[in-house]
Amino acid sequence: MAKHRALLFPYVFSILILTMSLLCKAIDDEDRKPYIVYLGSLPNDEAFSPLSHQIGILERVVESTSASNFLIRSYKRSFNGFAAKLTDQEIERLANMKKSWDFIGLNDETKRNSTTESDVVVGVIDTGIWPESQSFNDEGFSPAPKKWKGVCEGGKNFTCNNKIIGARRYNSSSARDEVGHGSHTASTAAGNAIKGASFYGLAQGTARGGVPSARIAAYKVCEFKKCPGEAIMAAFDDAIADGVDIITISLGGTSVTPFDKDPIAIGSFHAMKKGILTAHSAGNRGPEEGTVVSVEPWVLTVAASGTDRWIIDKVVLGNGRTLIGNSVNSFTSNGTSYPLVYGKDATSHCSNLDAQSCLAGCIDRDLVKGKILVCDASDGDIVALQAGALVLSIKDYEGLKSYLNSTKHAKANILKSEAIKDPAALIVVSFSSRGPNLILPEIIKPDISAPGVDILAAFSPVAAITDSPDDGRHVKYSLLSGTSMACPHAAAAAAYIRTFHPEWSPAAIKSSLMTTAWPMNHTDDVSPAEFAHGSGHINPVTALDPGLVYETSEDDHIKLLCSFLDDARVKLISGENSSCPKGSEKGSPKDFNYPSLAAVVKPVTSFTINFNRTVKNVGLANSTYKAKILPDSKVDIKVVPQVLSFKSLNEEKTFTVTVFAKGLPDGSHASASLVWYDGTHRVRSPILVRSKAASW
């Protein structure tokens, strides 16, 4: 029997919003207790003022401009921190201030090259942008970099500034964002730091982009969620010529498209030729295998993971049992319970199977008015969350169904969402699309994971918060989840690296992010784990100094394409007239100089696989790296040579990794890691060998 997960849709929220009330409570000095807030090492920056930084944090926590009255002591000589009198509520607020950028290391104290960062242009191919948002205010920004060749063609009543230095629209009268998606991704990548941002009090703190000093060029290719391929191609054409440095594109189809027919694959290939790295969302069709839609080896494909903050919602059933699920719910029912109705009991014209999944057009609005609708999940968590539903686990779903069947008068109360700390949340979420790469199984996709759950960022004030037609709320900042939110995190991390290494190629930047990624907790809903998170979770500060990088050129990519495509199809992608090698000279995709290593073998058959790789030294001129294998007992792995000695920067060394075993059962896999270590740098690459299952 198929397992389902329940969705709860509150059809009473319009009433509940009207009945919300704010309860104020005077805070006496007796409610305050002394707490020490440790902020780590002092940054190596003469302009940094520890006291100003501490007062700024304190003001946000106590929500008062007289916050200094609560300061007991400032620690500012040898390290950064302070002691203050705080309430329990303020301590909780302080604990929940950690945003996605803080979580991955790009915080207020992070080392930055502000002048160079201001010259970086992030191209956002999406649904447009809302230029009046504070996240895109240009106060303090100088004019656009001299290299910039773009224009502001945003349409009527659309004005660019020194933050949004370029805007174009395709098949639309305006580049203005009426959906919210484009504003959200743009501000996640490069939005200004906006204090006090929240979604109805949830996730309150500072909303900021990963490279807040960078410029933004917006390319609107989508009109009401329809994104024509010809518009996407035009956007890449313009963005490359305009002079963007990084492209983030959180769009994609529902299945893999051959490279020579995919506008994103072709456009991003030409971006790579011009030294521009493209970050692309993996897709939201997980956790099934083979659902990742971004599989081009020249693109940074990004999966979505949680952070150490999780936004939950509780449902109190009429029998007193409390269920916990995932939802961003801004209202409170003030203790009032509402009747529960199952989807199959709320239709007059659909089959039970369709109605219990609440398929479009099945639910009779009169039968659910003033009630809480219970649906079986059919389209995955991400669709449910976009519709404003509360998603329950299978265990809680069974408890809910049991309660529904036990009484004719089932009721429940959905509480307001709350943010909790969850160190175990560093996993790839279920909706994030998984590998394998259905076009090139020798290239592991996704490449990397980044925060993509409950991300607070700018939103279009004219856009609907959810897909529900009854939702009339409008906000300037919203919480969204998806690989669309993870992608601009990775793009900003790439832009951050570029500010320190402007001479690095797209491949070098991508390699630095992959080989320094955090190892992640294995999810229990997919195997192998590399198909969920690739090389691991993004770690941009460490990626500034990766030690070694795996370089690939345009010719390397063409040679790779030639290994499985004919000359005509390769030309459609590259635009070049080069001829592909013939016969044994074609080469193998497994020898493409990628930062991860993968191969497919026949089931239950002995095998020996050789991976040939080359690394470039970008760390210390005189350095020696030793190979270490984090093994899998199902295979043996050998590295030759085991030691790489470098005498200068940019020197290259070649090595071979050999994996051999007596065979793997059909559909099984073996995974390991290769780590090159010089005492300072850890250059890690996943190794994955998978037997070819019958379904492939």
pLDDT tens across 592-630, in order?
999 999 999 999 999 999 999 999 999 999 999 999 998
Identify the three-state secondary structure at position 403.
helix
Q: What's the pLDDT score for residue 12?
A: 37
Chain segment 432-467, per-residue pLDDT in tens? 999 999 999 999 999 999 999 889 999 999 998 877
CA distances in angstroms from 500 to 117, 119, 187, 246, listed in the order given: 9, 12, 21, 14
Same domain, 146 and 249: yes
- Least-confidence region, from 31-35, 280-284, 374-378: 374-378
Average model confidence (pLDDT) across the chain:
84
Tell me: pLDDT of 10 over 50.
no
Q: Indicate whether 280 belongs to any domain.
A: yes
Return d(Cα 297, Cα 351) in angstroms, integer: 45
Q: What is the pLDDT of residue 64?
A: 56
On whether both 397 and 476 belong to a single domain, the answer is: no
pLDDT at position 286, please?
A: 87
Q: 449, 198 in Cβ contact below 8 A?
A: no
Mean pLDDT calculated for residue range 288-306: 95
Say if residue 10 is preceded by a cis peptide, omega within 30 of 0: no
Q: What is the pLDDT of residue 521?
A: 62
- Residues identified as active-site: 126, 181, 484
Give the closest residue to 550 by CA, choosing from 511, 515, 589.
Answer: 511
| Mean pLDDT of the region 303-318 | 80
pLDDT of residue 437: 96
What is the C-alpha to C-alpha distance for residues 267 and 10, in angstroms, rounded to an integer? 42
The answer on 247 and 134 residing in a single domain is: yes
Domain end: 386, 421, 456, which one? 421
Is residue 355 in some structural domain?
A: yes
Contacting residues for 92 by C-beta, under 8 A, at least 6 apart = none
Per-residue pLDDT tens over the stretch 57-104: 676 577 555 667 888 878 777 666 778 888 877 775 565 444 567 767
* pLDDT in the model for residue 564: 93
The pLDDT value given to residue 380:
45
Task: Find the mean pLDDT for residues 310-335.
Answer: 77
214 close to 120: Cβ distance less than 8 angstroms: yes
| Residue 12 domain-assigned (yes or no) | no
Q: What percent of the chain has pLDDT over 90?
A: 52
Q: Quick one: what percent of the chain has pLDDT higher than 70?
A: 82
Same domain, 229 and 118: yes
**Selection from 317, 533, 508 nearest residue 414 by Cα:** 317
pLDDT of the residue at 234:
93
- Domain stop point among 400, 421, 442: 421
**Does residue 608 sit in helix, strand or coil?**
strand
pLDDT of residue 60: 58
303 with 331, same domain? no
Mean pLDDT of the 390-405 span: 80
How high is the pLDDT of residue 408?
A: 86
Question: Per-residue pLDDT averaged across 261-279, rounded?
Answer: 95
108-139 tens-digit pLDDT: 677 788 789 999 999 999 999 999 999 999 99
Higher pLDDT, 85 or 510: 510
CATH number where 448 lies = 3.40.50.200
pLDDT of 655 above 90? yes
d(CA 508, CA 681): 16
pLDDT at 687 > cutoff 50: yes
CB 365 within 8 A of CB 9: no
> Closest Cα partner for 461 from 131, 38, 220?
131
- Are the C-beta atoms of residues 373 and 346 closer than 8 Å to each other? yes
Q: What is the mean pLDDT of residues 17-31?
A: 37
| Lowest mean pLDDT, pick from 166-180, 277-291, 458-472 | 458-472
Of 539, 519, 541, 533, which is closest to residue 449 (Cα–Cα)?
Answer: 533
Question: How, if at all, do strands 636-640 and 643-646 pair?
Answer: unpaired
Same domain, 365 and 273: no
Alpha helices per DSSP H over 358-441: 365-368, 381-386, 394-406
Its pTM stands at: 0.78
In this prediction, residue 13 carries a pLDDT of 30
Q: List the domain range (segments joined by +) for residue 681.
A: 548-552+592-691
Q: Is 420 exposed, middle or buried (0-12, 13-18, 19+ CB in 10 A)?
A: middle
Strand ranges for 116-229 from DSSP E: 121-126, 164-169, 194-199, 202-207, 215-220
Residues 357 and 390 in one domain: yes
Q: Are residues 233 and 293 located together in one domain of the fold? A: yes
Residue 686 has what pLDDT?
Answer: 96
The secondary structure of residue 176, as a DSSP letter, is: B
pLDDT, tens digit (0-9, with 9 covering 90-100), for 552-600: 999 999 999 999 999 999 999 998 887 888 876 788 999 999 999 999 9
Count of H-run helices and E-run strands, the chain = 18, 31
Statement to judge: residues 432 and 513 lie in one domain: yes
C-alpha of 342 from chain center? 34
Q: 283 by DSSP, 3-state: which?
A: coil
Q: Are residues 147 and 282 in the same domain?
A: yes
Tell me which of 54-63, 480-489, 652-661 is least confident. 54-63
For residue 561, is it within any domain? no
Last residue of a domain, one of 376, 402, 421: 421
Q: Are residues 415 and 507 in the same domain?
A: no
Q: Element (H or E) spanning 7, and its range?
A: strand 6-10
Measure Cα distances from 400 to 11, 337, 390, 413 in Å.
Answer: 18, 15, 13, 13
116 phi/psi in degrees, rounded to 5: -70, -40
Q: Could you tell me which residue, 694 or 530, shows the higher pLDDT?
A: 530
Q: Which pLDDT does position 66 carry in this prediction? A: 65
CA distances from 612 to 258, 467, 559, 652, 675 (A): 26, 49, 15, 13, 15
Helices (H), 213-370: 229-242, 263-273, 352-356, 365-368
